[in-house]
Structure 1
Amino acid sequence: MKNKAECRAIDEPLPPEFLEALNLCTKLISVRATGDPDRLTAANDSLRADLLGDPPVPTLISAADQPVVTLLHSFLELMQVPNHFKAMATMVRLYPWGGKISRSQHMESCYYLIVHETYILEERLKAFTKALIECATSQSFEVDLSSAHKYAIKLHNAFFGEMVAARGIHVHQRSYVPREIKRLGTLELLMLNPLNDPTIDAALWRFLHRLAFRDARKKWIKNADDASKAAQYVIGHLLVQTQLVWRTVMQEELNKLEPIGASTNL
């Protein structure tokens, strides 16, 4: 986190638009699934093929439906990111390998997962904004979300810019691992003492290794937890700034589909 103001910001309550958007999306998906028997049958056939390992059965989507389907997918994928960070905090907290994977390898793998998820969040913010614009356009509802999008990316960079830069170094140039995790790997090499040299105090290295693992784990549990809060904060701000658009386009789709669902239940 960049500064104390940003640290305080992520502890603010979620805006009501966060849960409102999730509820509206869930409602729209439910109506789409239950209100059209043909669509439900096609979805069930596709799911059955996946479960049985049969060749994929494509679920056909009409050109008219494509924008809203893309919007729903992009929204749900965006909303998954905070939970992914929470899961990563649990991964850091637990070491289930029983020595088969070293603690430095475990921490390094968790670190790369966290860093990569910050990049995924940025891409999903972009995808959601793009899908929202396309869905609004398909309903003859012209919008300009450039300022909302730029602000969301600015917030993302404020919280995650250093991690995204680290990912770029790792992918394109050289491996980048934080100092506290590198320390673990170095201590694990010093602990090996393959020739059982009596002049090497392996017990000292093991003691320092325990302390290093404790400190690194504590730091990255907090980092992953803070990343989850920051992701919710960024998503919440984007939903607040675009609320007129997503509320309008989703409600418009609901208005089209709810009479179908009502007639099906008669």
Structure 2
Amino acid sequence: MKQIPVNSSQELRQVLAAFDGNALFRGQNAHYVKDGHASVVTSFDRMGCIPSEMPKWLRYAGNVLDVYIGKAGKSRDFTQALLQHYGWRSFYVDCSATAAVAAWFASHKYAENNAIELCEDYEERPVMLIKRMAQYGYEEGEGHLYVFDKAVAQQHAGLIDLAALRIDGARPRTAAQDAWLLGPLSNQIVPPECFAAHIRGVSRLCGRRGHCRHRPAVSVLERRPPSSRAAWPAVEESQGAA
């Protein structure tokens, strides 16, 4: 794996231009190492799973997906991968075919806190819900952008193209983020063979509001600059016109 530090938009632009359409990208705030190799693991390996919840969510998600996308919704692997993209724990690792999307995640850190909300059940009885309120904020630091060789990743780990999910009249998050999932992986890091490069210094080129100060650098592989709105569609966009 090539180690590539970048200090300017011009350097980043030149680095990204060397990768064609056979590359996938993943952004992280921190770089971890295990046995001399980059350590990127699944959410299951980081946090474990909740066995009692898995079958219920898989069945529910499969039924919903079946309405929108047909046979693909009945695929256990596709269902797990899609749920992973929305915060569910699985055997997959998030990545994107667009460098700008991965650069956004390299420069923003996930945080959450609990909130209490008064709601009603099906009989209109009051119910207090504890919700996890999530957000991303700009993170000072270096920022790490991993480049995966798509063909090698397919051979050594497996890939699922979530951006292939298309719903008429809607712009799902998977399409907005040009999302792919690498895996399934169980009790192992992403195989070292999958990594083509490790680009360091991406976060320093990004601003606090989710827009890159040097837009041409990270948008060299896409048509629009990364932004919070571009990466996270509004609810009405995700659901489509009612």
**By the TM > 0.5 criterion, same fold?**
no
| TM superposition score normalised by structure 2 | 0.28
Between structure 1 and structure 2, the one with the greater Rg is 1
| TM superposition score normalised by structure 1 | 0.26
Choose between structure 1 and 2 for higher RCO, CA contacts under 8 A separated by at least 6 residues: 1
